[in-house]
A and B are shown apart, each in its own frame.
Chain A
């Protein structure tokens, strides 16, 4: 079945985006991408470490869509600065805006994210902003030219799961952009729930990277995102308060 996710110039068949951080060993990243089917991977931008033995980019297959993030930015100006640097690497126009002034909960600053989105969208970036689940911020991002909205499921790296369902459901209903649940997704079942309610994709980093078996967890998440998506597209039946028998309540033996 043709169910591509179209963002920017990309036509994606996988609705699982993965992160590249926190792996015990970066060399399994290509195996995770393969097992999960993910076609999009996030990276961050940092000052070069002259002592680093290898570069994460050595482990990312070149056909993977790169989604650099602006982590480190505490305001719109810093996010824009990082985005322009990231783009100069020549690996595409996608940018995940992450403006986080708070180090304890890593909560994003929605206002600054909207400001950065507006500037970068005008410069031709494909902007995927990471924000809290907030309908008004989501609508402002839509007006500002974002290519998607990425509301958090719960705090980054917490594995606390998909806790913002109530608002994400409203955002999916009311904002005409792909809604990608990003952050805090801890188990495949969290991803299923997000996709079943109509999310366009899920972004998972920690849950895969810190699993005992990241390659297997990647596979599980790939299946979960597909199952949830297909469940959504198949049009589930309504919930009822009473029971409704599966077979007729007549014609029993010995009536």
Chain B
């Protein structure tokens, strides 16, 4: 199925969980924040939320700033 991650198209398997997507991208789930279809997904739900075709995911982290 097709999802959009940080503005880019990505093909993933059906039923993939959010945490699987993060691990697939070599990301540490404890160091990112996630928005799914404009909703903030708390860390506690990363293992629970299942992605669907057409989902828009934003994965962000803190960087240097003033």
Q: Give A53 to B26 CA distance when docked, in angstroms.
A: 12
B interface residues with partner A (beta carbon < 8 Å): 6-7, 25-27, 31-35, 38, 40-43, 58-66
Q: Looking at the complex, which of A7-15, A37-45, A173-181 is the stretch in contact with chain B?
A: A37-45
Residues of A within 8 Å of B64, CB to CB, are: 19-23, 26, 43-44, 56
Tell yes or no: A245 within 8 A of B by CB: no
B65 touches A43 (CB 8 A): yes
A167: Cβ under 8 A from any B Cβ = no
Q: Complex formed: what's the CA distance from A114 to B25 in Å?
A: 38
Which A residues between 43 and 93 are near B, CB-CB below 8 angstroms?
A: 43-50, 55-57, 66, 68-69, 71, 81, 84-86, 88-91
A42 to chain B, nearest CB (A): 6
Considering only CB atoms and an 8 Å cut-off, how many residues of chain A contact the other chain? 36
By a beta-carbon cutoff of 8 Å, the part of chain A in contact with chain B is 19-23, 26, 42-50, 55-57, 66, 68-69, 71, 81, 84-86, 88-91, 156-157, 183, 203, 205-206
Residues of A close to B43: CB separation below 8 A: 88, 90
Q: Give Cα A22–Cα B65 distance, bound, in whole angstroms.
A: 7
A57 nearest CB neighbor, chain B only: B62
Please, which residue of chain A has its CB at the minimum distance from the CB of B41? A88
Excluding A47-B59, A66-B62, 19 further A-B contacts by CB distance (< 8 Å) are A19-B65, A19-B66, A42-B65, A42-B66, A43-B62, A44-B63, A46-B61, A48-B61, A50-B27, A55-B61, A55-B62, A55-B63, A56-B64, A71-B65, A71-B66, A84-B40, A85-B35, A88-B42, A205-B65
CB distance from B12 to the nearest CB of A (A): 16
What chain B residues lie within 8 Å of A68 (beta carbons)? 62
The answer to whether residues A47 and B66 also contact, given A55-B31, A85-B33 and a CB cut-off of 8 A, is no
Q: Is the CB of B25 within 8 A of A50?
A: yes
Known: A88-B42, A90-B43. A45 touches B66 (CB 8 A): no
Q: How far is the CB of B32 from chain A (nearest CB, A)?
A: 6
Query: How many whole Å from A173's CB to the nearest CB in chain B?
Result: 27
Complex: A85 Cα to B27 Cα, angstroms: 17
A20–B27 touching, CB < 8 Å: no
- A56 CB, nearest partner CB in chain B, Å: 5
Q: Which of A66, A88, A156, A205 has the most CB of B within 10 A?
A: A88
A244 to chain B, nearest CB (A): 44
Nearest opposing residue in chain A for B31, CB measure = A55
Q: Contact partner of A157 among B7, B62, B66, CB < 8 A?
A: B66
Given contacts A46-B60, A48-B60, A57-B31, contact A85 B40 (CB under 8 A): yes
